[in-house]
Amino acid sequence: MSPGAITYQALFYLFAAGIVFSGLRVITARNPVHSALFLVLALVNAAILWVQMGAEFLGIILVLVYVGAVMVMFLFVVMMLDINAATMRKGMTRYAPLGLIISGLIAAEIGWALWGHYLGIANTPHTAVAPAGISNTEELGRALYTHYIYVFEIAAVILLLGIISAIVLTLRWRPNTRRQDINQQLRVHKTSDHMRLVDLRDNSRGRKES
Amino acid sequence: MMSLTATDYIAALPQIFLLGMVCVLLMFAVFVKNGRDEVLHYGSLGTLAALAIITGELLRGHSIIAFNGMLIQDAMGDVLMLFAYAITAAIFVYARGYLKDRNLLSGEFYILTLLALLGAMIVIQGYNLITLYMGIELMALSLYTLVALSREDSRASEAAMKFFILGAISSGTLLFGMSLIYGLTGTLNIGILGAKLAATPAPGLGVWIGLGFVVVSMAFELGAVPFHMWVPDVYEGAPSGMAIFVGSVPKLAGFAFFMRLLAEGLGDLHGGWLWLLTALAVGSLFIGAVVAIAQTNIKRMLAYSTINHAGFILLGILAGTAEGYRAAMFYVIAYVIMFAGAFGIIMLLSRAGFDVEKIEDLRGLNERSPWFAFVMLMIMFSMAGAPPFLGFFAKVEVIKAVLDINMTWLAVFSVVMAVIAAFYYLRIVRLMYFDRADPDAPGIIATPDFKLLLSVNGLVLLGLGIFPGGLLALCKAVIGF
């Protein structure tokens, strides 16, 4: 193996280990804010892996959208909600043994599968190395808007559904909210429709008397 | 890169039409104030009727694979979609009065239900794992919102939350399995995947692990043990008008998912997934039969009945023969008709401020309404698998398919479980006929279309039970391999 390939692999394992470590810390951190920050770290590591594989566009998008937008909002929510960590950990000791057994079983299964070289990785088709001069972004766009156009449209429908759901579940028509009613605002014709004159002298007299 | 032709759009025409109508109805729901409910109700029913005509026109013997292998239009999918339209239309009629009494009959109910139907259609027509995933997401997200639509009701919110979290885990499992399959075979197209795996002498274990994760998600969709925990909670917590949809149309889609991936794609690897499905089926038959006995809530009881039925549907699929697939399709169609009828009865007996929850609420129904007590009797007998009702033939066909592959022990086991399950169906019949009604129980009020449809729903079970040939022939004709 050439030194370049060794460096490449070493970097891959470094960042892959980074993902695993920060993933573990997400679920073990005591403070929910720390959990969220570790999730950011995991995402940044994943973005680096993508860039290493030649998918720069996806790596940048991951950082911009997930780290930049989604996780920041997540942090806001975590900080705004007063999460009591103690009550959340109450059932921990009760469920821990069962959880450990199940995760142990899954780890053993995966380990056994990897150990025996049964995974069939030898049959894996290798991704072709893109020739120079082909833009990652352009190719992604091309695939998305031609080959995968049907699925792309379904994604659009899912976003529409997301908008409808978010509005349905959060919009409340409470009677006392001071909502802007544009219809009512436009119906104003005379000055007296939107201005009410109050005689202040009456008020001052009333105060004097009392 | 292939360019799209008219054939592609024709294959997807029902989906495109439904999406267009959803947008039109959405605009109505937002901007029209007077008579909005009527417009949406009849508009939705009209949309479903038009869809049935379109799908009926497109129905033909051979299949078309469209959009670069993303979508397939074939007779099996078309027939499943036709039943999905019919059940959705029935749900709109059943749920209308019930939801109106509870101030839940908003435009969103129609929009979300139609979008969930669109998701189910995408799954039914999916020929690529990505398409199947997107369809399931669209369907599931609509269902979560439908369940949560009753915001003031803390039980509905709890049910929606459980459904959402477990559904998200199931989606993650599906994606994880898909990524393993894609990484090891380089394709997500079901046809190519099947051909590739059949060509390699022994597919690597990695592919099997990936497939296992995908099957977990499919079993979740169908409500099979051990991925059934959400079913009772969602049926119990969700308003009946929503639960009836959650329990019916998605099952048609779940069946299609199994058929597309396992039967059409990986039919040659039958020996590999046979035991996986056997384990799911045995668990579902057992839990669905035994745990239901302990239920006092009728919606929870019906949830366990769903789980039991999921086991029978899996029996047909695991046989891996054309007869087995036909039997499973026959069973899933019979199941959705019975299930819609059972929830129709629940909504018939519920009224403003009162929900039928306990099994005891059906006590003495024969005194209050002999006809609907008889309809419920037909539904319960059919679910139990008693002749001459539809459920009997569904069970017979499935068990015959299992016997054909020499799994006698499984056939015997399923019959024993069916007998145990018959106990709780017959308990309802006993309550309706041999117990006295609550003297101050009010009369049954329902619109004529509701009563007519519910009667037809019950009579269909009897009619198709006496003459099952037509539906059997239909299932035979559309599953042709």
Cβ of residue B145 closer than 8 Å to a chain A Cβ:
yes
- Which residue type occupies A95? Y
CA distance A1 to chain B (A): 24
Supply the DSSP string of B348-361, one letter for each residue.
HH-BTTB---BGGG
Only one residue has tokens 């997401």, namely B137
Q: Is B36 exposed, middle or buried (0-12, 13-18, 19+ CB in 10 A)?
A: middle
Q: Which domain holds residue B378?
A: 6-478
Only one residue has tokens 């892996």, namely A49
Distance, CA of B241 to CA of B303 (rounded, Å): 15
Contact B221, B254 (CB under 8 A): yes
Which residues 269-298 of B are in CB contact (within 8 Å) with A? none
Give the model's confidence band at B335: pLDDT under 50 very low, under 70 low, under 90 confident, else very high.
very high
Chain B residues inside the 8 Å CB shell of A155? 134
In a domain, B125, yes or no: yes
Nearest to A157 among B130, B138, B184 (CB): B138
Residues in A whose CB is inside 8 Å of some CB of B read: 110, 113, 116, 118-125, 142, 146-151, 154-155, 157-158, 161-162, 164-165, 168-169
In a domain, B307, yes or no: yes
Say which residue, A95 or B228, is predicted with more confidence: B228
Q: How far is CA B84 from CA A48, A55, B90, B128, B274, in A?
A: 45, 41, 10, 21, 28
Distance, CA of A5 to CA of A121 (rounded, Å): 19
Q: A164: closest CA among B100, B30, B238, B123? A: B30
Interface test with chain A among B13, B68, B157, by most A beta carbons within 10 Å: B68
CA distance A166 to chain B (A): 9
For B455-476, the pLDDT digits (tens) are 999 999 999 999 998 898 988 8
Q: What is the interface size between A and B, counted as CB pairs within 8 Å?
A: 96
- How distant is the alpha carbon of residue B317 from its chain centre? 15
For B92-142, the pLDDT digits (tens) are 999 999 999 888 888 899 999 999 999 999 999 999 999 999 999 999 999
- Which residue type occupies B217? S
Strands annotated E in B33-192: 64-66, 71-73
In a domain, B112, yes or no: yes
- For chain A, 210 residues long, the average pLDDT of each consecutive 10-residue run is 81 91 89 88 92 87 91 86 67 78 80 60 57 79 90 95 92 76 78 72 55
Contact B345, B379 (CB under 8 A): yes
In a domain, B100, yes or no: yes
Q: Partners of B64 in the beta sheet?
A: B73
Tokens of B314: 């899996």
Q: Partners of B128 in the beta sheet?
A: B189
Kindly identify which residue of chain A lies nearest to residue B19, measuring between CA atoms.
A157
Cβ of residue B48 closer than 8 Å to a chain A Cβ:
no
Torsion angle, CA of B121/B122/B127/B132, rounded to 10 degrees?
Answer: -120
In a domain, B1, yes or no: no
Say which residue, B376 or B196, is predicted with more confidence: B376
Only one residue has tokens 């299609």, namely B256
Kindly identify which residue of chain B lies nearest to residue A119, measuring between CA atoms.
B206
Chain B residues inside the 8 Å CB shell of A124? 183-184, 186
Which residues 105-124 of B are in CB contact (within 8 Å) with A? 106, 108, 111-112, 115, 118, 122
In a domain, B148, yes or no: yes
Give the model's confidence band at B47: pLDDT under 50 very low, under 70 low, under 90 confident, else very high.
very high
CA distance B373 to chain A (A): 37
Kindly identify which residue of chain B lies nearest to residue A115, measuring between CA atoms.
B205
Kindly identify which residue of chain B lies nearest to residue A120, measuring between CA atoms.
B204
CA distance B206 to chain A (A): 4
Q: A38: closest CA among A24, A26, A27? A: A26
For B155-171, the pLDDT digits (tens) are 999 999 999 999 999 99
Cβ of residue B67 closer than 8 Å to a chain A Cβ:
yes
Say which residue, A188 or B429, is predicted with more confidence: B429
CA distance A6 to chain B (A): 23
- The answer to whether B205 contacts A169, with C-beta atoms less than 8 Å apart, is no
% pLDDT > 90, chain B: 68
CA distance A175 to chain B (A): 16
The total domain count for chain B is: 1
Instruction: Inform me whether the pLDDT recorded for B200 exceeds 90.
Output: no
Distance, CA of B73 to CA of B64 (rounded, Å): 5
Distance, CA of B205 to CA of B181 (rounded, Å): 10
- The answer to whether B186 contacts A125, with C-beta atoms less than 8 Å apart, is yes
Contact B205, B238 (CB under 8 A): no
In a domain, B317, yes or no: yes
- The answer to whether A147 contacts B184, with C-beta atoms less than 8 Å apart, is no
Distance, CA of B382 to CA of B391 (rounded, Å): 4
- The answer to whether A154 contacts B151, with C-beta atoms less than 8 Å apart, is no
Q: How far is CA A139 from CA A17, A61, A125, B101, B369, in A?
A: 30, 15, 20, 54, 66
Give, in degrees to the nearest 5, the angle at Cα A186 between A180 and A190: 120
Q: Is B314 exposed, middle or buried (0-12, 13-18, 19+ CB in 10 A)?
A: buried
Instruction: Inform me whether the pLDDT recorded for B406 exceeds 60.
Output: yes
Chain B residues inside the 8 Å CB shell of A139? none
Distance, CA of B115 to CA of B64 (rounded, Å): 24
Mean pLDDT value across chain B: 91
Q: B223: closest CA among B184, B197, B192, B255? A: B255
